[in-house]
A and B are shown apart, each in its own frame.
Chain A
């Protein structure tokens, strides 16, 4: 790694953690219904919404009701997005006259946005009308993230409450997360991005004459424009990742400068990191949240570093072709295929690992063209279950499930039946925790197995050999873990692939969220066991190491065989 990479990583993590801390504490206050400046400013709006919706601020739901509300709300959103796509041809705000979206693509996209995945089987500029983008996709960017925060809030309450049957109100959590966390942050970030050159306009395009026209048939360059900044802000903050443009944040009008890239990159991990502090505050032990954050950061730093190392070393094939990939005072060097000159290896790899560590899925470089080991890192980060930061809310609740498993094994080793944060872990919790880990993993593997057996899915591959298999594995890993990034050479807009990936996204989202809510409910019912010298401390370096070990071991053991046939063999072949 070059000095520049070190500086970039160091600066990024420092600013991230410095910002996450206050945001986390603020979010805790929001979720606990405390007073804060924004509630004074927008309290009327919140109260008005509750009155309209027939929700009382003080209503408490048992986990089953909470889960039902979560599902009903998601189903309504999913249905709306589906309808908007199918009917966009006859609806207004369709200047380009785009036709109705095909049923399988509409299903895939609706699921994708409702599940906070934002897998895009379509090209952004060329498929969705402005109306669909605004009323369907942008709205889901907000509410799917808010729903993630809500589920997280429920399990945090499960840990902090004693002997109660309830875990909070989904409607209240959803509303407050949107109003007080996501909207204000997005607004500020969107304006900051415009200041860097991210477009924000309702005119569809601009035409400029080519300075050096490539041919007589194309005298002018069409530049697609639109309200990008407002969408980019929430897609980064809400770990959505669905870009305005086809190439997402690699596009110079979606991410024009290194500073805009830094801000967007911060936004990817900001809320997931902040929620760790929120968790510590909500369970009244700040150390617990910090320990989880340290575990996440440790895994992230290792993966990001390996990715950067591998990309900086470059592609041996290119060196053989007479290409200079070494870093020098005049170039960053490294494997630049699919990367932007203004970002170079450091910004690109940091983004690639952050976006897959979190379940964001936005990109500022093309992962498909990464070196095998460089591409392996984002792939594995997704397969670990989106728990290294992970999705807004969903990452932390996933990590908590891993913490339960780590505690279960290690708790036994200190001679106690296992407990985490004072809650005894019993068969019910282990059953649900196993489901959370099992379902996405099975989704990835079974999905990939179905895909390689389907001639249609295989026809979408753009790369031969082992890399072709990596493309499929990357797609199912991305979908089943609600990431949304892709080895983008894969043509996924095919009936079989769209349907398969849509189902995987559903499995990944609800296969994790529902068991987590069940855990929340059963934890809230339990009393708390007193901690003592015989209790396994879950905030020290030992537990952090153990947690990291469990996350890596479970991921590695599950996916090593599949990875061996993809990136690993490609790496061995290239070197």
Chain B
């Protein structure tokens, strides 16, 4: 899926796009886009006018009409080309996806494999009673066995076993991922391959409706529906087109009347009117609009996010509340030991030594971090647990402690109250200093672990969430563009507040339950906010379904993926920030090109109007501020400029306007300056340059 970044005009993309541009000349295709339809009709009409002029009495020199007609056709072709270019990138990606969907023979269980007492194979997988079935013969609820080398036939859920799976066909990530039954890593995707061990998979999607199929369809844009915003913009552009249609059509009777009133000149030729019309209607945005939309989805795709609809991409631009899981998004996955706070009369090194011993067999990330910290600070080497003839005492919910029993002593680490009662039971007591230190750590958002050996308390190990580097700045950026970030965590409010302050989020939801999340989303929505969140677990599904932009992790459960409207193939919760930016970029590009397109018209009037009426009212020559060579070169230059500007703007449409995290007013004034004022000025220069070239070339 992750294709090599191609250059914008990669020849392997351009060539098919060129062919497609001609195929799209079919008027039925143009009907979808009123603006370009008008250009198409104008092109056809001027072609007829040319034929009339070439073989009979024309209204203007045949060569002039031909030149206009050709450039009008080019205008249509350029717009087609832009759309084809945007589509071709998706098509190339779809092609590589389709390769993953090669025909697979699945091993379908005849009986329920979950029934007890089934025979087992050597590797422990349920042994018998399956039949080979083609993947598209599977139905929902079937069970299949997937062993090393097998492709997972269609989407499903692992119900037994654990396996490493190569999902690179979907995610582009070559490192295999673990899939196991139960929990949040049970979803498997059709087209991925089991590398080791085995899985029993219950089929949850019909062939043809799998994630891969949906992805291909989305990428190809086959089911691409216009988004509400696109439709609204289409309506506005159609409205403007109608206005200009009438403004130019009525010029014919007006100019006839002017000829009568002035007693000189001739009515304006139809060719000029068509040229004026095409120049005035918003062809720039009209021609690039669908390319912008497709390119927006494409950019999501390149960020490895699959959006289920263009609407979801747009909504991402509107998001004003981001709900972010603390773990993995704001903080590194796990807490880490940061300091040793020894009890009175205990050296820090002694505490570190005891803590390391107590954690040696503790394979949790927290435990490892204590070992590492002791090693870093005091060069205390890791000791071999077995060599010490120690017994490992794992953490239990009952004791809320873990530790190690050595030959000579027992070491425990755990929460303050748990250790306190353990120490008391062994005849010791908790020193006040340790108690205070533990409470201080807790208040600062850390987790205090008290280390003790029977009656003797060594001190406190402070564990802390480590906030990801650079995340605070990201949130600051978000705040500037009006997006509020809210941290979701299962921690108690005290801890949550401390981390929230350190990470710079605007608010937090502590001790979060699925119900609390759902309630929070609804509350913000009722205040008129659009809420975005990420989630991976099944218990996230209700909240994901409620959120306006819901990014499900690809590693997550099937339920989460179904509930979300985007899937992040990288399963990187920070991706939400990128999603928002891509959404905004899409909208900004649309607005910028609309503004540019409209602002362009001013210059075109100054080029064409004096040319059209020069014979009747020579005084109007005063409006020809560009001092163009002749009436026909003026009109032709304007038409050529109008066509070329589409080509010039294709890269912008495909790449999107650069989005800067600025407050709305600043962003607007910046874009207005570039695309509004720029749109006013550029055509004056462009038309003049084209006119000069035409004159030099003697056309």
Contacts and interface: CB of A to CB of B under 8 A. Distances in A.
B665 A536 contact: yes
A192 interface: no
Interface stretch (A299-307, A349-357, A421-429): A421-429
A437 B239 contact: yes
A430 to B, nearest CB: 4
Measured as residues with beta carbon below 8 angstroms from the partner, the interface class of chain B is 35 or more
B10 to A, nearest CB: 28
A554 B605 CA distance: 13
Interface in B506-542: 526-530
Contact of A564 (B239, B262, B623, B668): B623
A8 interface: no
B663 interface: yes
A540 interface: yes
A449 interface: yes
Interface centre among A429, A448, A534, A540, by most B CB within 10 Å?
A534
A532 B530 CA distance: 12
A466 B617 contact: yes
A449 B599 CA distance: 27
Interface centre among A410, A438, A561, by most B CB within 10 Å?
A561
Contact of B676 (A530, A536, A549): A549
B671 A413 contact: yes
B664 interface: yes
Contact of A532 (B249, B482, B585): B482
B665 A537 contact: yes
Contact of A417 (B244, B314, B609): B314
B482 A535 contact: yes
Given A414-B668, A426-B232, A442 B257 contact: no
Contacts of B244: 557-558
Contacts of A558: 243-244, 247
A561 B247 contact: yes
B235 A434 contact: yes
A433 B238 CA distance: 12
Contacts of A528: 528
B231 interface: yes
Interface string B367-392: 00000000000000000000000000
A557 B592 contact: no
B44 interface: no
Interface in A522-541: 527-530, 532-537, 540
Contact of A561 (B236, B248, B256, B529): B248
A559 B251 CA distance: 10
A224 B602 CA distance: 50
A120 B280 CA distance: 36
Contact of A412 (B256, B587, B676): B587
Interface in A542-556: 542, 546, 549, 553-554, 556
Given A427-B231, A466-B262, A533-B663, A416 B254 contact: no
Contacts of A453: 253, 257
B2 interface: no
Contact of A469 (B254, B601, B620): B254
A573 B530 CA distance: 58
Contacts of A430: 232-233, 235-236, 239
A214 interface: no
A408 interface: yes
Contact of B609 (A435, A535, A564): A564
Contact of B229 (A417, A434, A534): A417
Contact of A427 (B228, B258, B598, B619): B228
B236 A465 contact: no
B481 A534 contact: yes
B605 A413 contact: no
Given A416-B584, A426-B232, A529 B528 contact: yes
Given A409-B595, A434-B235, A446 B659 contact: no
Contact of B483 (A425, A534, A564): A534
A412 B667 CA distance: 11
Contacts of B527: 530
Given A557-B244, A561-B605, A413 B254 contact: no
A546 B526 CA distance: 31
A247 B159 CA distance: 92
A418 B668 CA distance: 13
Nearest to A569: B617
A248 B313 CA distance: 59
B228 A572 contact: no
B664 A564 contact: no
A560 interface: yes
Given A422-B528, A425-B232, A469 B595 contact: no
Contact of B668 (A408, A413, A442, A468): A413
A412 B590 contact: yes
Nearest to B479: A533
A322 interface: no
Given A527-B528, A562-B254, A568-B620, A557 B235 contact: no
B255 interface: yes
B246 A442 contact: yes
A413 B253 contact: no
B601 A542 contact: no
B239 A434 contact: yes
B353 interface: no
Contacts of B590: 412
A532 B320 contact: yes
A530 B531 CA distance: 11
A441 interface: yes
A431 interface: yes
Contacts of A442: 242-243, 246
Nearest to A540: B665
A464 interface: yes
Contacts of A417: 228-229, 314-315, 317-318, 587
A554 B239 CA distance: 11
A298 interface: no
B594 interface: yes
A452 B248 CA distance: 15
Contacts of A409: 236, 591, 594-595, 598
B622 interface: yes
A430 B230 CA distance: 11
A247 to B, nearest CB: 27
A561 B254 contact: yes
Given A412-B590, A413-B595, A535-B482, A546 B672 contact: yes
A205 B528 CA distance: 65
A350 B317 CA distance: 46
Given A442-B243, A445-B250, A561-B605, A535 B664 contact: yes
A572 B247 contact: no
Contacts of A422: 528
A77 interface: no
Contacts of A554: 243
Contact of B235 (A431, A535, A572): A431
A564 B619 CA distance: 10
Given A533-B479, A533-B663, A413 B257 contact: no
Interface in A464-522: 464-466, 468-469
15 contacts: A409-B595, A410-B591, A413-B668, A415-B587, A417-B228, A427-B231, A430-B236, A433-B236, A452-B257, A527-B526, A534-B481, A546-B672, A553-B598, A565-B254, A572-B617
Given A413-B672, A416-B317, A417-B228, 4 more contacts: A413-B667, A413-B671, A535-B482, A562-B251
Among all A-B residue pairs, the 6 with the closest Cβ atoms: A412-B591, A534-B482, A415-B584, A434-B239, A533-B482, A532-B482
Interface of B: 228-229, 231-233, 235-236, 238-239, 242-244, 246-251, 253-258, 261-262, 276, 280, 314-315, 317-318, 320, 479-484, 526-530, 583-585, 587-588, 590-592, 594-595, 598-599, 601-602, 605, 609, 613, 617, 619-620, 622-623, 659, 663-665, 667-669, 671-672, 675-676
